[in-house]
Amino acid sequence: MHLILADSELELNPWNKRELLDSSIHHKIMRRKHFSMRRGRPDIVHFFLVVAMESILNKAGLLRVYVHTRNNKVIYIAPETRMIKNYNRFKGLMAQLLREGKIASDERLIWVEEKGLKELLNELEGKKILFTRKGRKINAARLHEEMENDVICIIGGFPSGYFLTKGLEDMVDAIVSIYDGMLTAWSVAMEAIAAYERFKFG
């Protein structure tokens, strides 16, 4: 299973390129400069990666994880990567990755490429499922029925609004909503992972 966190709000702080933009810290200047308050959310990426990389599916070697950002960069994470739990250290590593294109100590585990979401989707073969509240309602307990051996699940890495990538709906095979209300990206990721585990292992 391929799992994409799409249009993620992960970027360098334009006023200090040594660090990430983080709305919980930079909210005053973001407001003054009329930045959308959905930007600067490395916490979403962090929670998502910790949940995905620690899953049974990843331990079984059946998961590939990608983080696509609002600036069309794709971060690749090798399955054997031990995701950093400390949030400040995680932000430091991601800032280094976006600034220098690599993390000196983990070059073969995490790397970044300039790439749009559509390009990434074109590279991956399988059923593409877009997760959004606007999708066809299905019960999360039956999500495994949507799964196929080769499947690509796409989840938004932003706190509000909709996907920035235009025409995404035309590139996927199914658009699903698994709950009436809004869920966090990492809880949707966990539901998708658990559904694929049910599909694979019964």
Ligand X SMILES: C[S@@+](CC[C@H](N)C(=O)[O-])C[C@H]1O[C@@H](n2cnc3c(N)ncnc32)[C@H](O)[C@@H]1O
Chain residues that interact with ligand X, rule: CB under 6 A: 131-133, 155-156, 158-161, 177-179, 182-185, 188
Tokens for 183, please give them.
């869920």
User: In angstroms, what is the minimal distance from the CB of 66 to ligand X?
Assistant: 14
Q: Which is nearer to ligand X, 39 or 133 (CB)?
A: 133
* Residue 29: C-alpha distances to residues 23, 34, 187 (Å): 9, 8, 30
Q: Which is nearer to ligand X, 103 or 120 (CB)?
A: 120
Q: Is 151 helix (H, G, I), strand (E, B) or coil?
A: strand
User: In angstroms, what is the minimal distance from the CB of 9 to ligand X?
Assistant: 10
User: In angstroms, what is the minimal distance from the CB of 96 to ligand X?
Assistant: 26
Q: Which is nearer to ligand X, 15 or 162 (CB)?
A: 162
Q: Which is nearer to ligand X, 17 or 136 (CB)?
A: 136
- Cβ neighbour number for residue 191 with a 10 Å cutoff: 19
User: Are 32 and 154 in contact, with CB atoms under 8 Å apart?
Assistant: no
User: In angstroms, what is the minimal distance from the CB of 95 to ligand X?
Assistant: 23
Q: Which residues pair with 102 in a beta bridge?
A: 111
Tokens for 193, please give them.
């992972």
